[in-house]
């Protein structure tokens, strides 16, 4: 492999082993669900380190402590090889490798209060709480209050929705949900659509609140999603446990 390819893979967090970046001072904003709104990888200026130590797995510390072993599993090695081959084939992959784990970096394990497995949700937000949709897709404001926005797959090829399904990401995100289910109590899991509901079928409803509803699509949403008032139900549950409610209003961006 050429030095240029190594540098490219390093920026994507794929060379020579998984290298996950944590937060930086100029951290990229966590955005709404469309991964193609993100910037694809660019080549870094610095040379690549050849260390293969576990210390090279860079992730928010509380998540790293619980998910470190996942990076040595066979499925993760297979996922790494798949992504490496896609990048070497000059395919455009979203988001940038440094942003694969942005949701976890913005929402440390002990700070999680709500887990949402879904995409565009702004219409119901207006129906439920009267909050107008923002003029942007930056969701960092939610994440920093403890809302973990989790997609089943954390990367995609530009213009090809679902192109990275069944490559390994689903097992990793299952592990994220599993550790939250086992080690935390009193969380809210929001499962919209049959896929999300199957993915969260093992969640202990004796320990957590699970809110389910149809998938957000024009064909299914009016069968029960719109009007479900899940956002207000989330806040009622949190307040009933003595926790601060989520401020679902997203601040406007300058310009």
pLDDT higher than 60, residue 55: no
Q: What is the pLDDT of residues 170-189, one digit of tens each?
A: 999 999 999 999 999 999 99
Task: Assign a CATH topology to domain 3-240.
Answer: Uracil-DNA Glycosylase, subunit E (3.40.470)
Average pLDDT, the chain: 78
The answer to whether 162 and 169 are in contact (CB under 8 A) is no
Residue 157 vs residues 34, 86, 118, 189, 247: alpha-carbon distances, Å: 12, 9, 19, 28, 33
pLDDT digits (tens, 9 = 90+) for 64-123: 999 999 999 999 999 999 999 999 999 999 888 778 898 999 999 999 999 998 666 766
Evaluate if residue 4 carries a pLDDT over 80: no
The ranges assigned to domains in the chain are 3-240
Q: Which helix (H) or strand (E) holds 149?
A: strand 147-149
**CB atoms < 10 A from the CB of 20, how many?**
20
| Contacting residues for 255 by C-beta, under 8 A, at least 6 apart | none
State the pLDDT at residue 97: 79
CB-based contacts of 231, cutoff 8 Å, min separation 6: 124, 125, 128, 129, 246, 248
- Output the pTM of the full model: 0.77
Q: Which range, of 32-41, 106-115, 140-149, 170-179, averages the lowest pLDDT?
A: 32-41
Model confidence at 162: pLDDT above 70? yes
For 119-136, the pLDDT digits (tens) are 667 666 777 788 887 776
pLDDT of res. 108: 97
């Amino acid at each position: 492999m050429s030095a240029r390819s190594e540098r490219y893979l390093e920026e994507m967090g794929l060379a020579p082993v998984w290298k996950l970046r944590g937060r930086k001072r100029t951290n990229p904003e966590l955005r709404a669900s469309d991964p193609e709104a993100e910037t694809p990888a660019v080549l870094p200026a610095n040379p690549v380190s050849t260390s293969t130590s576990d210390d090279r797995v860079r992730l928010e510390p509380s998540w790293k402590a619980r998910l470190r072993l996942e990076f040595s599993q066979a499925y993760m090695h297979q996922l790494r090889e798949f992504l490496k081959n896609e990048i070497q084939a000059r395919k455009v992959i979203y988001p940038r490798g440094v942003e694969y784990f942005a949701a976890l970096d913005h929402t440390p394990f002990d700070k999680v209060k709500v887990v949402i497995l879904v995409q565009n949700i702004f219409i119901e937000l207006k129906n439920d709480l009267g909050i107008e949709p923002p003029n942007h897709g930056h969701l960092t404001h939610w994440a920093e209050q403890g809302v973990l926005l989790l997609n089943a797959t954390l990367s995609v090829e530009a213009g090809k929705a679902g192109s990275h399904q069944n490559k390994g990401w689903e097992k990793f995100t299952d592990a994220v949900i599993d550790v939250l289910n086992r080690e935390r109590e009193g969380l809210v899991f929001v499962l919209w659509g049959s896929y999300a509901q199957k993915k969260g079928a093992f969640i202990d409803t004796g320990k957590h609140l699970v809110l389910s509803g149809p998938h957000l699509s024009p064909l299914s949403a009016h069968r029960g999603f719109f009007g479900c008032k899940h956002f207000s139900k989330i806040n009622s549950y949190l307040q009933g446990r003595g926790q601060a409610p989520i401020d679902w209003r997203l601040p406007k961006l300058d310009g």
